[in-house]
Chain A
Amino acid sequence: MTRFASGTPWRAALILGAALALGACADFRGDGLGGDGGPGSGAGGVVPGGASDPASSAYFQQTIGDRVLFAVDQSTLTPAATAVLDGQATWLLEYTQYTATIEGHADEQGTREYNLALGARRANAVRDYLVSKGIAAVRVDIVTYGKERPLEICSEEACYAKNRRAVTLVAAGAGV
C-alpha cells in the first residue's frame, strides 16, 4: 500500500488539509495570501501576489489554468487536459516554493462512495502526470471530494461536465 502523501509529515499535512478545508477559495483569490513576493516582485505595475504577478497563486489559477475536465466515469487525461497540465508543470518547476493539492471531483450521476474512489483516481491521474513532468512527488498531495463539492448545480450534462474535474490548488511556504 502506497501511503497517501508519502513523505509529507503528518502535522504539516494536517495543517495544509485544515487550511484547504477552511478556506480553499480564500487562499487563491490573489489577495496576497498566496504569494510572498519572490524574484521579480516590485517590478513596474505588478502587485506582488496579485493576479498579474506570475509568481502568485492567483496567476496560476487564472492564467495558467487550475483545472482539467473528464469524460463520464473516466479518469483518462484528454489532450486539452494535458495541455493545461503542461502549463501547470512548467509553473511549478519555476516556482518551487509552492506545493500543490489536487482535488478530484465527480458529477452527481453516480453513487457516493464509488464517486469518492473515482475522484481519487482523477486526482491521481493529474498527480502522476505532473510527476512525470518532473515535479517532485512530495510536492503534490491529492484529495477526493467525490460528488460532494459541485461547482455547478443544475441536473443536466452542461453542469455535470464542469463538475467532473480535477483542480490543482497551490500554496506557498509549506517548507519544501
Chain B
Amino acid sequence: MTDHATTRPRAERLVTFLTACLGLLTLLLATAGPARAQEGSPGPLRLELTEGVIEPLPFAMPRFLAESAQADTFASQITQVVRDDLVNSGLFRAISPDAFIGRVTNFNAPVQYPDWRAINAQALITGAVTVTDDGRMQVKFRLIDVFGQDQLIGRQFAASSQSWRRMAHKVADAIYARLTGEQGYFDSRVVYIAEEGPKDARRKRLAVMDYDGANIRYLTDASDLVLAPRFSPNAREIIYTSYETGVPQVFLMNIDTLSRRLIDQERNMSFAPRFSPDGRRVILSLSDGRQSDLYTFDIATGRKAQVTNTPAIETGPSYAPDGSRIVFESDRGGGQQIYVMAATGGSAQRISKGQGRYATPVWSPRGDLIAFTKILNGRFHIGVMGTDGSNERLLTGSQLEEGPTWSPNGRVIMFFREAPGAQGGPSIYTVDVTGRNLRRLATPTFGSDPAWSRLLE
C-alpha cells in the first residue's frame, strides 16, 4: 500500500487549535472529573466536555465518488466503513446525508463551504475511488475544516481492491489521528474464540476478524478445544492453548499457512501465553498441578527460563511495552491479586489494593495503565489502574465478564461478557477507557477471549 500527500496542508493556525483542544480533552479525561473545555474559545470546533461527556464532533461525508465503472460498489462500501469507524469511536457524529444541501460531484471541485456550515458540519470528508482493470484500487480523500475553510488532509492509498476494507480503515485512522492528535486503531484485527453449541458441549474454534467484526476467518475446526489466543507483534502469528495432545498446551501458529508447533517440547500443562513486545519470547504459565509458575521461551532457540517459583497460582502475564517488566496475577497472598515485577523475575510488588479478587491484567500499549478483571461480591468488572495500582476505575460490570485487551492506541478496551444460564453464551464488547461507549460486537456465533493486534503494517 502506498501513501502520499496529494496536497500540503495550508494554514495551520486552526489545526493547532483543534489539536490543542482535543489534547486538552484527552488530558481532562485522563484525570477524570467534570470539566468544560474551551469555554469562550473563539474557534469553530465545538467540542464540549461536560460532566465527563463528550459532545461528538459532527461531520458530513458524502458517498465517495466512483471514478471508474468497477468502483461503484467499492465507493459505497468504503464510505460506510469509514463512517462506522468514526461513529463507533464515540468521538464523532455522522450528519445524515438527507440533511445535505451541497453535493459533491467532482473530487477536485472547490468546496461550497456555506452549504456545509448551514448544516453545522464541523468536518467535511470527501473521497473518490478508482479501480483499474488489473484489480488495483486507488482511494483518495480530503478532510476539511468547514468553519476554518481549510483542508487538513489530502491523501491517497493504493492497493489491490481485495484490500478495500483495510484502505477504508486507513482513511478513518488518518482522520482520527488528525482530529485527536493520537494514533488511530481501525486498521487492526482481533483473534478470538468462536463458540457454538450447548453450554455443556461447546465447540470452540480459533478465528480472526477485523477489529469491527468483519472478515471473519476460522483457523481451526472444532475437533480440539482451543482457548485464549494472542497475536504476535506483527499479527502474523498467534499463540494459544489447545487440547490437541490431550492436555492444555501452548501452540504457536502462523495464521497464513496455519502451520503450528508446540512451544514447550516437554509434556507440561501450559496456558496463558503472551508475546514479548519484540516478538522474540513467549511468557506463559506451566503447571505440574502442584504449582503454576511463569516461564519464558525463546522462540528461535526454544530456550526456557523460569520467572517465578512459588507454590501459588501465577498466571495471566503481560509485558510492559518496553519489555522490561511484567504484570501478572498470583494468589501468593491468599487470593487472586495483581503484581508487577522485572520481566526476568525477582521480587514482585502487589499493585491491586481494593477489595475483591483481581485477574487478567494487561499492560496498556501506551504504558500508562493496567486493564484487569475484578471479582467483587459475585460480580465481575473490567477496570483500569495505574501501573502502581493508583486511580483504580471500574468501567463495566455484569454477572460474568473478563479478559480485557487493548486497542492499538490504548483508548479502547475489548473484553467478553457471558450471558448467564443454560442458554447463555459469551459476546465480545468494546468500551472506551473512560468507561463510555459500551458496544457489543456483532459476531455470527458466541465469541470469547478476544485479543487485539497492533496496527497492521
CB within 8 Å for A117 and B292 given contacts A108-B400, A111-B360, A148-B225? yes
Given the complex, which residues of A lie within 8 Å of B336, measured CB to CB? Answer: 111, 114
Scan A144-169; emit 1 where CB is below 8 A from any B CB, else 0.
10101111111100000000000000
Q: Which residues of B contact A77 (CB under 8 A)?
A: none
Cβ of A83 < 8 Å from any Cβ of B? no
Is B97 interfacial (CB-CB < 8 Å)?
Answer: no
The answer to whether A121 and B271 have CB atoms under 8 Å apart is no
Which of B271, B329, B421 interacts with A116 by CB under 8 Å?
B271
Tell me whether A71 is interfacial, beta carbon within 8 Å: no
Roughly how many angstroms separate A126 CA and B199 CA in the complex, as a whole number?
Answer: 26
State A15–B230 Cα separation when bound (angstroms).
28
Q: In the assembled complex, which residues on chain B have CB atoms less than 8 Å from the CB atom of A117?
A: 271, 285, 287, 292, 313, 315
User: A3 with B268: in contact, given A17-B247, A21-B243, A113-B315 (CB under 8 Å)?
Assistant: yes
Min C-beta distance of A59 to chain B, whole Å: 25
Q: A109-B400, A121-B313 are in contact. Are A2 and B288 (CB under 8 A)?
A: yes
Number of cross-chain contacts by CB at 8 Å: 136
Find chain B residues with CB under 8 A from A111 CB. Answer: 316, 336, 359-360, 373, 375, 402-403
Assess whether B269 is in contact with A4, with CB atoms less than 8 Å apart.
yes
Q: Quick check: B199 and A113 within 8 Å, CB to CB?
A: no
CB distance from A16 to the nearest CB of B (A): 7
A117 to B449, CA, bound (A): 17
A14→B422 contact, CB < 8 A: no
Contacts of B399 in A (CB 8 A): 155
CA distance A82 to B439 in the complex (A): 48
Is B373's CB under 8 angstroms from A3's CB? no
A10, B272: Cα distance in complex, Å = 23
A61 within 8 A of B: no
A143 on interface, CB distance cutoff 8 Å: yes
Q: How far is the CA of A119 from the CA of B420 in the complex (A)?
A: 21
B346 at interface (Cβ–Cβ under 8 A)? no
CB pair A113 B289 closer than 8 Å: no
Assess A16 versus B246: contact at CB under 8 Å? Given A116-B271, A142-B289. Answer: yes
Say whether A120 contacts B267, CB under 8 Å. no
Contacts of A152 in B (CB 8 A): 200
Are B267 and A155 closer than 8 Å at their CB atoms?
A: no
> By the criterion CB–CB under 8 Å, are B313 and A118 in contact?
yes
Name which residue of chain B comes closest to A5, CB basis.
Answer: B267
C-alpha spacing A108/B424, complex, angstroms? 12
Chain A residues with CB below 8 A from B418, complex form: 108
Partner of B271, one of A5, A13, A113: A113
Asked if A68 is an interface residue, CB under 8 A from chain B, the answer is no
In-complex Cβ contact of A124 among B268, B290, B375, B422 (8 A):
B290
Contacts of A80 in B (CB 8 A): none
Looking at the complex, which one of B267, B289, B292, B359 makes contact with A123 (CB distance below 8 Å)?
B289
| Contact partners of B228 in chain A: CB under 8 A | 112-113
**Do residues A121 and B266 form an inter-chain contact, with CB atoms below 8 A?**
no
Does any Cβ of A come within 8 Å of B286's Cβ? yes
Closest CB-CB distance, A44 to chain B, in whole Å? 39
C-alpha gap A4/B200 in the complex (Å): 27
A127 touches B (CB below 8 Å): yes
Q: Does A89 contact B (CB under 8 A)?
A: no
How far is B425's CA from A1's CA once the two chains are assembled, in angstroms?
37
Q: Is A18 in contact with chain B by the CB < 8 A criterion? A: yes
Q: Is B43 an interface residue (CB 8 A)?
A: no
**A20 within 8 Å of B by Cβ?**
yes
**Are A144 and B269 touching (Cβ within 8 A)?**
yes
- Interfacial chain A residues near B288, Cβ < 8 Å: 1-4, 120, 124
* CB nearest neighbor in B for A118: B313
> Which listed residue (A113, A120, A146, A150) contacts B316, Cβ 8 A?
A113
B149 CB within 8 Å of chain A: no
Contact status A154-B246, CB under 8 Å: no
How many angstroms from the CA of A143 to the CA of B243 in the assembled complex? 10
Q: Are B266 and A120 in contact (CB-based, < 8 A)?
A: no
Q: B200 and A112: CB pair below 8 A?
A: no
Interface residues in A22-65 (C-beta closer than 8 Å to B):
none
Q: How far is the CA of A143 from the CA of B249 in the complex (A)?
A: 11
A147 to chain B, nearest CB (A): 10
Within 8 Å of chain A (Cβ to Cβ): is B365?
no
25 contacts between A and B (CB under 8 A): A1-B268, A1-B293, A3-B268, A4-B267, A4-B268, A13-B246, A13-B267, A14-B245, A21-B225, A21-B243, A111-B336, A111-B359, A111-B375, A113-B315, A114-B316, A114-B329, A116-B285, A118-B313, A120-B288, A121-B289, A121-B292, A143-B246, A143-B247, A146-B248, A155-B400
Given contacts A21-B246, A142-B289, A153-B422, could you give 5 more A-B pairs where the C-beta distance is less than 8 Å? A1-B293, A1-B306, A113-B271, A117-B271, A117-B315
5 nearest CB pairs, A to B: A17-B246, A124-B289, A155-B420, A117-B292, A117-B313
